[in-house]
Amino acid sequence: MEATIESKTKHDAIGKAKTLTEEELLSQAASFLPGGVLHAWKFPPDLQFVVDYGKGSRIYDVSGNEYIDYVIGSGPMILGHAHPVVVAAVQKQIELGASFYQLNSPILQLAERITKSVPCAERIRFSSTGGEATFYALRFSRAYTGRDKILKFEGGFQGANDYAMMSFSASGRTDFPYPEPDSYGIPRCLQDEVLIAPFNDLAMTTSIVSEHADQLAAIILEPVQRYIEPKPGFLQGLRDLATKYGIVLIYDELVTGFRLAPGGAQEYYGVVPDLACLGKIIGGGLPLSAICGKKQIMDACDPARRGTPGYVVHMGTLNGNPLAAAAGVATIDEMNRINGYARLHKLGKDLREGIQKILNRHPNHPAQVIGVGPLFYIAFTAQPIFDHRSGLKGDAKLRREFDMEWVRNGIFINVGGRHYISAVHTDEDIQRTLAIVEKVAWKVLRK
Ligand SMILES: Cc1ncc(COP(=O)(O)O)c(C=O)c1O
């Protein structure tokens, strides 16, 4: 039987945007912004909205619609929106100054917390975005090894810099993973510098690495690739390979850092890389990222080494920004105070299991809910998913239709992508979500 649940709840708009209607704001967006959007995706006209404000696990659009939010700012808002502890920390800091381009207490407090929590982090440098952090981690690796090539995994996302935008959205039409630029405008010569391997295939990765070992500076990966967990032994196998050939192993922990555990995937899976990239949660929703890792690699940017071989230039106006650091410190401390990691894992398990139960009632469209900790992803296929190509086997059209219906019913998700749960999602949020998913499943999957 179809579940009965009301569609979106209405609230009064409270932000400044209330002076203009949503339609007027969307039309402004269309005239100022390419495609009328901020990112690489766009909702169909009936689902487009402008956010008025966020509070806890919910966001509200300027027409007054409420959404349970599983995008959480694309990951940073682990304590939900406008958490009072984070707001207070940012308010306190902004009165003291927003940016100094000099050492300051909040960034040192953050550095202390990261180096205490993250196993590889003997030294740390701050930057503003994840794409910048991965770009620099690769530069540190090339400087350290004196080699140029890097290896990444098909379907892995390491930000939007030119090296990383290779085979993230690979078509899978070639016989073998090979570097396909994800964007126009990427220098052709970079295709020769990036090797692509299939995620979770240690035998194939070993053969690529051993063939190119004397040219390879780094192996970079998301330890949980998008939503796919590493098979037992895969991370340790990469660790051993990197050690054997003197290659720098880089974990891109933008998503997993301070999310699977305070020490990220390297704590959760117990395999420690040489360098790690962090972002999202460590800035509490403000722009902040970091490259951290072994002292002998990171010390390459010590100004005392300027002019000597191996010196790495790393700079940025906002590097070490105190406002973002204050938000990050408040977020990390509050997560520890509320035992947030246990909560994230419990909520993730409850939601994944609940959705799977609903999907099982529609055997005409076999589906699986994949993920770990507070991450979840739905694939419409019964085939096991362990890498990018097996992930492409899911029915993407059906998935998109299914996801759009969630949004239509007041749940904000990354359509076709992976979703995040925060530590402030309530049990009631989960129950309400499941009731909506039940309704959506009846509508979309009955066919
Ligand atoms: C695994 C991973 N690496 C890098 C990035 C890039 O981070 P940013 O968007 O801050 O540049 C992202 C962003 O979602 C990510 O998920």
Instruction: Output the CA 3–ligand 1 centroid distance in Å.
Output: 37
Pocket test for ligand 1, best of 153, 227, 255 (most atoms within 8 A of CB): 255
- Please return the burial class of 35, using the count of CB atoms within 10 Å of its CB with bins 0-12, 13-18 and 19+: exposed
pLDDT band at residue 195, thresholds of 50, 70 and 90? Answer: very high
CB 250 within 8 A of CB 282: no
Distance of alpha carbon 298 from its chain centroid, rounded?
Answer: 23
pLDDT tens per residue, range 112-162 = 999 999 999 999 999 999 999 999 999 999 999 999 999 999 999 999 999
**To 10 degrees, the CA torsion angle through 26, 29, 30, 32?**
160
The pLDDT of residue 262: 98
Q: Where are the beta strands (DSSP E) in 161-232?
A: 194-197, 216-221
CB 252 within 8 A of CB 275: no
pLDDT tens per residue, range 102-115 = 999 999 999 999 99
Pocket test for ligand 1, best of 254, 256, 281 (most atoms within 8 A of CB): 254
Angle between helix 234-245 and helix 202-212 axes, rounded to 10 deg: 10
pLDDT band at residue 72, thresholds of 50, 70 and 90? Answer: very high
pLDDT band at residue 17, thresholds of 50, 70 and 90? Answer: low
Instruction: Output the CA 215–ligand 1 centroid distance in Å.
Output: 26
Query: Rounded to whole angstroms, how far apart are CA atoms 15 and 62?
Result: 8
Percent of the chain past pLDDT 90, that is, above it, reads 93
Pairing of strands 289-293, 123-127: antiparallel
Instruction: Output the CA 12–ligand 1 centroid distance in Å.
Output: 33
pLDDT band at residue 1, thresholds of 50, 70 and 90? Answer: very low
- Please return the burial class of 315, using the count of CB atoms within 10 Å of its CB with bins 0-12, 13-18 and 19+: exposed
pLDDT tens per residue, range 232-248 = 999 999 999 999 999 99
Q: Which residue type sits at 109?
A: Q
**pLDDT at residue 265 tops 80:** yes
Mean pLDDT of 415-437: 97
The pLDDT of residue 12: 66
For the record, the structure tokens of 54 come out as 């966020």
Please state the atom number of ligand 1 nearest to the C-alpha of residue 222: 1
Helix, strand, or coil here: 133? Answer: helix
Residues 6+ apart with CB under 8 A from 40: none
Query: Rounded to whole angstroms, how far apart are CA atoms 275 and 141?
Result: 9
Instruction: Output the CA 109–ligand 1 centroid distance in Å.
Output: 23
**pLDDT at residue 3 tops 50:** no
The pLDDT of residue 4: 46
Measured from the CB, is residue 158 less than 6 Å from ligand 1? yes
> Taking all residues of the chain, what is their mean pLDDT, rounded to a whole number?
95
pLDDT band at residue 171, thresholds of 50, 70 and 90? Answer: confident
Residue located nearest, by CA, to atom 3 of ligand 1 = 158
Residues 6+ apart with CB under 8 A from 418: 226, 227, 371, 375, 376, 377
CB 292 within 8 A of CB 126: no
Measured from the CB, is residue 254 less than 6 Å from ligand 1? yes
Instruction: Output the CA 331–ligand 1 centroid distance in Å.
Output: 19
The pLDDT of residue 177: 84
Mean pLDDT of 424-436: 98
**pLDDT at residue 362 tops 80:** yes
pLDDT tens per residue, range 309-338 = 999 999 999 999 999 999 999 999 999 999
Measured from the CB, is residue 320 less than 6 Å from ligand 1? no
Query: Rounded to whole angstroms, how far apart are CA atoms 121 and 137?
Result: 13
